[in-house]
């Protein structure tokens, strides 16, 4: 019909561009940096200039060169190759710990916030007890008892990491369970499990996503700290914290051994925090509204 406008379906590419624009410049820079770290970790076997475990004592502590762009460490191993494979360890541990922590924390938070009463008091007192312990010190104690291994690092960091998710989700659920759409679901006879999974859980995922982004940054720092103390990955494993520790004795002779792992940790944590800040601003319930009509 003349003069009528034909509705068009929004372009997915245009939607992604608008979403990225809404994140702000710092978050976009962080997202780009995080993407580079992820790509570098995934393509580490192809980007590495040599075997990260290869020892060349006759070439130890050599400065950056054409063959070794970031230099060589005390064993003559290529630092760039070890950084690339170290990114795999840091990102995989960060993601694994946060996934485990989020699953436990969301489950505890949903149950505690929805049912309240004595069960809520019991769960929250247990959370308060865990929060009384300094996180890193507890992780050091657990790894010292269990022994240096990546699986033990994940277990130690996840043992305390879930409490933040639990408190966050509990607070959200205590507000959401009074919302009209939840009360309507209860009146219609929906089971508690259905209400929690279909009506409550979708509305807590946004703050959980923000918490998870900051959580990965915290895990990367904690894993690097454990590696620096010799309580992280087994000896010889290309861990950023261990690489940083190896270079402290030769800091004035070969500063590149410590500088590049330190920069990698700094840039990855900054990228994750920038993304987290952008997501928090974009997904802020005060801007979008907390309610829903599920």
The one-digit pLDDT tens for each residue of the chain (294 residues) are 444 444 455 555 455 555 556 667 888 999 999 999 999 999 999 998 888 888 888 888 899 988 889 998 988 899 999 999 999 999 999 999 999 999 999 999 999 999 988 999 999 999 988 888 888 888 888 888 888 888 899 999 998 899 999 999 999 999 998 899 888 988 888 888 899 999 899 999 989 999 999 999 999 999 999 999 888 888 778 889 999 988 888 888 999 999 999 999 999 999 999 999 888 887 765 554 444 433
Q: How far is CA 43 from CA 46, 68, 216, 241, in A?
A: 5, 18, 21, 21
* Region class of 33: left (phi > 0), else alpha (psi between -120 and 50), else beta: alpha
Domain assignment of residue 64, yes or no: no
Identify whether 9 is part of a domain: no
Buried b (16+ CB within 10 A) or exposed e, 161-184: bbbbbbbbbbebbeebbebeebee
Does 112 reside within a domain? yes
Q: CA-to-CA distance for 238 and 25, rounded, in angstroms?
A: 33
**Domain span including residue 228:** 26-42+78-288
Angle between helices 256-282 and 25-42 (to 10 degrees): 130
The residue whose two tokens read 């639990």 is 166
Long-range contacts of residues 22-26, Cβ cutoff 8 Å, at least 24 apart = 22/282, 23/275, 23/278, 23/279, 23/281, 23/282, 24/278, 24/281, 24/282, 26/274, 26/277, 26/278
Q: What is the pLDDT, as a whole number, of residue 1?
A: 45
Number of domains in the chain: 1
Of residues 12, 11, 28, the one with CA closest to residue 20: 28
Q: Is residue 72 part of a domain?
A: no
In a domain, 59, yes or no: no
Q: Report the CATH number that the domain containing residue 218 is assigned in CATH.
A: 1.10.3720.10
Residues constituting the chain = 294
Tell whether 11 is covered by a domain.
no
Give me the pLDDT at residue 290, please.
42
- Asked whether residue 216 is assigned to any structural domain, the reply reads yes
What pLDDT does residue 21 have?
A: 61
DSSP 178: T
> What tokens does 69 get?
């762009």
227 token code pair: 């590696």
Which pair of tokens denotes residue 40?
A: 């570098």
């Amino acid at each position: 019909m003349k003069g009528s406008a034909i509705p068009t379906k929004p372009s997915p590419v245009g939607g992604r561009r608008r979403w990225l624009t809404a994140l702000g410049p710092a978050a976009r820079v962080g997202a780009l940096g995080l993407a580079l770290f992820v790509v570098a970790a995934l393509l580490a076997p192809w980007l590495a200039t040599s075997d990260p475990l290869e020892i060349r004592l006759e070439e130890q502590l050599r400065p950056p060169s054409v063959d070794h762009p970031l230099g060589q460490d005390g064993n003559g191993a290529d630092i760039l190759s070890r950084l690339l494979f170290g990114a795999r360890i840091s990102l995989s541990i960060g993601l694994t710990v946060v996934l485990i922590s989020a699953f436990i924390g969301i489950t505890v938070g949903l149950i505690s916030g929805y049912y309240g009463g004595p069960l809520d008091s019991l769960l929250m007192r247990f959370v308060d007890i865990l929060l009384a312990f300094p996180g890193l010190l507890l992780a050091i104690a657990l790894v010292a008892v269990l022994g240096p291994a990546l699986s033990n690092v994940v277990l130690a960091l996840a043992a305390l990491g879930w409490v933040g998710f639990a408190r966050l989700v509990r607070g959200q659920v205590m507000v959401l369970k009074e919302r009209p759409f939840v009360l309507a679901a209860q009146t219609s006879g929906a089971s508690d499990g259905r209400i929690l999974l279909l009506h409550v859980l979708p509305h807590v995922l946004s703050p959980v996503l923000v918490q998870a982004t900051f959580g990965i940054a915290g895990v990367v720092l904690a894993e690097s700290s454990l590696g620096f103390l010799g309580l992280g990955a087994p000896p010889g494993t290309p861990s950023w914290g261990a690489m940083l520790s190896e270079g402290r004795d030769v800091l004035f002779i070969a500063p590149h051994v410590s500088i590049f792992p330190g920069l990698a940790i700094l840039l990855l944590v900054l990228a994750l925090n920038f993304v987290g800040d952008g997501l928090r601003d974009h997904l802020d319930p005060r801007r979008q509204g907390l309610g829903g009509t599920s």
